[in-house]
């Protein structure tokens, strides 16, 4: 029976392994003198670029009110049924506002559809990726946790205007 030809037969040097180990160690040694990409989280925080999709937040205007008009489109488009909105009437020009706005962060999949569908640029994906809860009810974020001053999300809104 003829000897079966492998896809690649190892050379003697390879069979010895030692040159390969030396090669690997050389790569490690080289990397030690290259610039570092890791950071010492949580002491050092990673600040993502504007294109990053962190937890969705509601934009709070300078006046302190939310931009949201409670149209419910984010709730409609949400593929994981994470968003619940209840509208109510306000005397402001926008006529309606969300009296209740809840996102179940256990359900949220950070797809960004809510932000994409929003006609008012009222819900945007923030840079916040640190989501910690000790029980499930804590994971339901109400307006108190969702509202973020517009200053903090300006670069995301800018990003959306350019690329949405």
Partner 1 sequence: MPKITINGQELEFKAGQTVIEVARQNGISVPHFCWHPALSVSGNCRMCLVEIEKMPKLAIACSTLASDGMVVHVDSEKAVSARNAVMEFLLINHPLDCPVCDQAGECKLQDYAYRYSSGESRFEEEKQHNKKRVELGPFVMFDAERCISCSRCIRFCDEIAGDKELTFTKRGDRVTISTYPGEELDNPYSLNTTDICPVGALTSRDFRFKARVWDMSKTNSICTGCARGCNDEIWVKNNIVLRLTPRFNKEVNSYWMCDEGRLNTFKFINNQRVDGPHIRRNGQIVKTGYDEAVAFTVSQLKAYNPGEIAFLGSAFASCEDNYMLAKLAKGTLHVKNIDFARHLIPGSADGILICDDKAPNSLGAELSGVKPAPEGLNFEGILEGINSGKIKVLYCLEDDIAAMSPEYENTLSKLDFLVVHATNHNATTVLADVIFPAAAFAEKNGTMVNFQGRLQRLKPAVATIDMDRSLEGMEMSRLDKFGTDFDKWAKKNRVDARASWKMLQTVGSLMGLKMKHQISEEVFADMASCIEAFHGLDYDVIGESGIKIKVNNTAKATK
- Give me the residues that bind partner 1 (CB under 8 A), please: 69-73, 75-76, 81, 84, 87-89, 94-96, 119-120
Helix, strand or coil, per DSSP, at residue 162: helix
Least Å distance, CB 72 to partner 1, is 4
Least Å distance, CB 144 to partner 1, is 18
Least Å distance, CB 115 to partner 1, is 15
The Cα–Cα gap between 141 and 79 comes to 18
Least Å distance, CB 14 to partner 1, is 55
The Cα–Cα gap between 18 and 12 comes to 11
The Cα–Cα gap between 84 and 112 comes to 16
Residues 6+ apart with CB under 8 A from 153: 57, 59, 124, 126
Question: By C-beta, is 122 or 146 nearer to partner 1?
Answer: 122
Residue carrying structure tokens 């509202």: 147
Question: By C-beta, is 39 or 99 nearer to partner 1?
Answer: 99
Question: By C-beta, is 51 or 86 nearer to partner 1?
Answer: 86
Question: By C-beta, is 103 or 127 nearer to partner 1?
Answer: 103
């Amino acid at each position: 029976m003829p000897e079966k030809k492998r896809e690649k037969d190892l050379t003697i040097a390879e069979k010895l392994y030692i040159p390969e180990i030396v090669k690997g160690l050389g790569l490690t040694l080289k990397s030690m003198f290259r610039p570092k990409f890791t950071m010492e989280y949580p002491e050092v925080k990673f600040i993502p670029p504007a294109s990053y999709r962190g937890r969705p937040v509601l934009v709070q205007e300078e006046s302190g009110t939310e931009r949201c008009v409670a149209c419910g489109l984010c709730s409609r488009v949400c593929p994981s049924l994470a968003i619940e909105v209840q509208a109510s009437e306000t005397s402001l020009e926008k006529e309606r506002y969300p009296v209740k706005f809840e996102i179940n962060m256990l359900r949220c999949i950070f797809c960004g559809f809510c932000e994409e569908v929003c006609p008012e640029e009222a819900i945007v994906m923030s840079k916040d990726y640190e989501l910690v809860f000790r029980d499930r009810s804590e994971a339901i974020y109400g307006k108190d946790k969702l509202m973020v001053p517009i200053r903090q999300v300006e670069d995301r809104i800018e990003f959306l205007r350019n690329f949405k």
